[in-house]
């Protein structure tokens, strides 16, 4: 089903697919991970943030109470992108258990599916103000290495001006840079207020000679994204058919503005 790449057809069957998940989790407990891996791939192919059937979610959340061992750690990592992280029952303990499982799963042996699941979950937690502060620095730092695009259904939520301000308020330059490097992979336009916030923080948080290496990392990411956006509409439409041409043109101008501010700050530092 995932190979057909028909998100609508997959999403229409989400309840039936989710109903199999508890059985897949039980198999994974016995060392048979294949069905959980398939669920993860199919759910991702749906390109929807609301894939898991809500009736199944409590059975999945129960996994977070299990000890830290490779089997539940991998299952938690793969299914976490499809949980409703805005649920008021989710708290610091849930985020901590997820991050522990994610880091353990990333360490042995790494796969692209695991990497995508970690970043997707990070993007799901990020807009939830009550949970965001519990994301460990190690998760933020690791996410810098991932060059794939965030899921289309989540980009706008992660780049709202209030999210930008709250991440900045953490007072950690490394986390702030990790956040920018991650959300700048999105090709859709920023809200005007978010663009303003980002321009301000570049000027105020990444100025001075001592911040030169951070500015270089940010410049490389902007170079990468601008290079993607400048490959033409055919390329963009092939990879992101959900975007409109006018939106990508706006995004191109906005990323160009961020680059202009970054270069200006760098020149002032020199």
Q: Are 115 and 200 within one domain? A: no
Out of 112, 145, 178, pick the residue that ends a domain.
145
List, for residues 216-237, the tens digit of each pLDDT value.
Answer: 999 999 999 999 999 999 998 8
Q: Please tell me the predicted confidence (pLDDT) of residue 97.
A: 94
List, for residues 128-181, the tens digit of each pLDDT value.
Answer: 988 988 998 888 877 766 555 566 556 678 899 999 998 898 888 998 998 999
Q: Are 64 and 114 within one domain? A: yes
Task: Give residue 236's domain range.
Answer: 147-270
Q: Are 154 and 202 within one domain? A: yes
Q: Please tell me the predicted confidence (pLDDT) of residue 149.
A: 56
Q: Please tell me the predicted confidence (pLDDT) of residue 152.
A: 56
Q: Please tell me the predicted confidence (pLDDT) of residue 264.
A: 97
Q: Are 101 and 8 within one domain? A: yes
Q: Please tell me the predicted confidence (pLDDT) of residue 266.
A: 94
CB 204 within 8 A of CB 176: no
List, for residues 104-117, the tens digit of each pLDDT value.
Answer: 998 887 788 888 88
List, for residues 131-141, the tens digit of each pLDDT value.
Answer: 988 998 888 87
Out of 145, 173, 202, pick the residue that ends a domain.
145
Reported as a pLDDT band with limits 50, 70 and 90, residue 270 is confident
The DSSP line for 114-125 is HHHHHHHHHHHH
Q: Are 164 and 260 within one domain? A: yes
Per the structure, the count of domains in the chain is 2
d(CA 231, CA 252): 11
Out of 94, 120, 145, pick the residue that ends a domain.
145
Average pLDDT of the chain, as a whole number: 87
Q: Please tell me the predicted confidence (pLDDT) of residue 220.
A: 95
């Amino acid at each position: 089903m995932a190979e057909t790449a028909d998100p609508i057809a997959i999403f229409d069957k989400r309840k039936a697919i989710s109903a199999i998940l508890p059985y897949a989790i039980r198999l994974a407990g016995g060392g048979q991970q294949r069905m959980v891996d398939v669920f993860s791939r199919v759910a991702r192919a749906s390109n929807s943030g609301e894939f898991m059937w809500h009736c199944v979610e409590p059975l999945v959340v129960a996994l977070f109470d299990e000890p830290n061992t490779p089997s539940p750690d991998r299952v938690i990592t793969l299914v976490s992108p499809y949980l409703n992280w805005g649920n008021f029952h989710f708290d610091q303990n849930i985020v901590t258990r997820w991050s522990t499982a994610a880091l353990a799963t990333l360490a042995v042996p790494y796969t692209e599916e695991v990497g995508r699941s970690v970043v997707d979950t990070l993007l799901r937690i990020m807009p939830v103000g009550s949970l965001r502060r519990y994301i460990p620095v190690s998760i933020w730092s690791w996410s810098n290495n991932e060059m794939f695009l965030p899921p289309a259904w989540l980009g706008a939520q992660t780049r709202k001006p209030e999210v930008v301000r709250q991440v900045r308020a953490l007072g950690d330059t490394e986390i702030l840079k990790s956040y920018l490097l991650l959300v700048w992979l999105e090709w859709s336009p920023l809200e005007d207020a978010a663009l303003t916030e980002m321009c301000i923080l570049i000027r105020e948080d990444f100025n001075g000679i001592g911040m030169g290496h951070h500015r270089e990392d940010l410049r490389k990411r902007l170079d990468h994204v601008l290079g993607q956006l400048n490959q033409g509409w055919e390329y963009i439409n092939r990879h992101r058919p959900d975007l409109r041409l006018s939106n990508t043109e706006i995004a191109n101008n906005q990323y160009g503005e961020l680059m202009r501010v970054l270069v200006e700050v760098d020149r002032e530092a020199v």
